[in-house]
Amino acid sequence: MPTVTPGYTFTGTTDPITSTKLNLLSTPSVTIGNSEVVTATISDNAVTTAKIAALAVTTAKIAALAVTSAELAANAVTTAKINALAVTTAKIAALAVTSAELAADAVTTAKVLDNNVTIAKIVAAGANNTFLARSTTGAGNYEALDTTTTGLGYYTGAGGEVSQLTSKATAITLNKVCGEITTFGDSLAANTIVSAVWYNTRIYTSDVVVINHKSGGTIGAYTFNVSCILNGAATLTIRNNTASPLSEALVLNFAVIKGVKT
């Protein structure tokens, strides 16, 4: 063993620092050179948290897959510690994301797969006889409509109106599921039927059209019928049931009830 005196320089692995050598000095003072401490010179479990400077462990110092859940303190991984796009589906345990983990309004339409919203996922109805629709004019959210107060039927925007020209036999065009028809005021002979073609792209041969006499002319003097003869066309028939000719413009209300035969 060499003689150790103040100022002595140890020469690495061939001349390591030992307690025996240091005891040769009355007041040992040892300075470790830069890069002299390598992995092999550090005892297992010797580097504690207290030995690590703040912010000293960077991403580059951590081996891939080296940080497991056992190494993480409870609540240690905050949002600020996670890189954007770093949390992939594979990193999330099954059933690990509960409603408590979701921010308000975080689940947008784009995040929901098609056909994944079942009836059970839709908010419960406030009462029976309630359905989802929209009665308010214009686009917007669906509304819960109570049929005991609103009734069943069409709402603003579904209807239309048309006035017949020339005669009660003149064809009319009104492409609506409900509305108002005003006939021409020409004479209709006693106990006589007149028919007019009604072009309406909303009418199909399996549909039923309800029509009644709203105003104009003699209420109760006529019989009305609509025959759905084609997809997109029907025949409006009016009969004068009286014993005298009538020259009246009749105002009729109608509504199309959709139907099928299979």
Pair type for strands 187-188 and 246-247: antiparallel
Distance CA 115, CA 121 (A): 12
Give the tens place of pLDDT for each residue, 186-226: 999 999 999 999 999 999 999 999 999 999 999 999 999 99
Task: Report helix, strand or coil for 179.
Answer: strand
Radius of gyration of the chain (CA): 45
Give the tens place of pLDDT for each residue, 79-117: 788 888 788 888 888 877 887 878 888 888 888 899 888
Give the tens place of pLDDT for each residue, 173-186: 999 999 999 999 99
Distance CA 228, CA 205 (A): 5
